[in-house]
Amino acid sequence: IAQMGFMILQCGLALFPLALLHIVAHSLYKAHAFLRASSAVEQVAAVRRAGPLTVPTPGTAALAVALALGIYLLVGWLFGVADHSPQALALGTVLVLAMTALLSQGLADAPRRHLPGRAVACTLLLSISYFTLHAGAVWLSADTLPPPPTPTASERALLVLVVASFVLAALAQSTLAIWGELTAAMALRVHLANGLYANAVFDRLLGNRAINRSH
C-alpha cells in the first residue's frame, strides 16, 4: 500500500517517468523476492545475534535529517540542480529522508563506530542513484511522456508542505523509542493508521454530491 501511495504521489507531481520507473523496479523486486523466498529461513538462521538497539536523542535525529539533506543537496549540485524540476527535487528529498532512521542509529551508536560511515555511504549512494535513474528515465521517455509543468506559487507552497511533512515523519520515526509507548502516542497511532479518517470524510462528501445530483 505504501509503495502505491508513493507512486500516486509521483503522478500527482507530474513525474511520470519516475512513476514508470517505480512500477518496473517494484515488479522486478517482487519477482526477486518471490523467487528467493525459500532461502529466507537459511538467511535468518545465519544472522548473528543483534546487539542492543541504541535510542537516538531528538538532537541526534535532527542532525541525521540535516546530514541526509546536506548529502542530497551536494549530490544535486553536482548533477545540476537547475536541470531538475522543483517536483523532482522535492521527491528526491522525500526519498533521501528515508535514510534518517539509519543515520540516527549510526550517529547514536558509539560502540559500533563503523555504522556512521556505512550510513553516510548508503545515503550518498541513494542520492546518486536517484539523480542517475531520474535522468535515464526522462531520456528514455522523452518522446512519450510530458515533462512536469512549471509549478505556480501555490503549488510550490504545497511542495514545501509535503517536504516538511516528511521531515516531521522522519524525526518521529527516529525518536519513536522515546515517545512511542506514551498513552497519547498510542491513541494517536490508531487515528494515524486510519488516515485521520480523511477517506471516510471524502466518501461522504462525494456520496452526498452524487445523491444531490441524482435528485
pLDDT at 159 (0 to 100):
92
- 160: Cα within 13 Å, side-chain hemisphere: 6
Contact 112, 124 (CB under 8 A): no
Cα–Cα dist 78/14, whole Å: 24
pLDDT at 156 (0 to 100):
92
Contact 107, 60 (CB under 8 A): yes
What is the residue-wise DSSP string for 183-215?
Answer: HHHHHHHHHHHTGGGHHHHHHHHHHHHHHHHH-
Question: Which residue bears the cell 543515520?
Answer: 103
The cell for 204 is 461522504
SS3 content of the chain, % helix, strand, coil (to 5): 80, 0, 20
C-alpha angle 114-120-125 in degrees, rounded to nearest 5: 125
Written as tens digits, the pLDDT of the chain (215 aa) is: 677 888 888 888 889 999 999 899 888 988 888 888 777 777 777 776 666 667 788 888 899 999 999 999 999 998 887 778 899 999 999 989 988 888 888 787 665 667 778 888 989 999 999 999 989 999 998 888 888 898 999 989 999 998 999 999 888 888 887 777 778 878 887 887 787 888 888 888 877 665 555 55
pLDDT at 153 (0 to 100):
92
pLDDT at 211 (0 to 100):
52
Cα–Cα dist 147/195, whole Å: 31
Cα–Cα dist 2/8, whole Å: 10
The radius of gyration of the chain's CA atoms, rounded to the nearest angstrom, is 20
pTM of the model: 0.77
pLDDT at 113 (0 to 100):
67
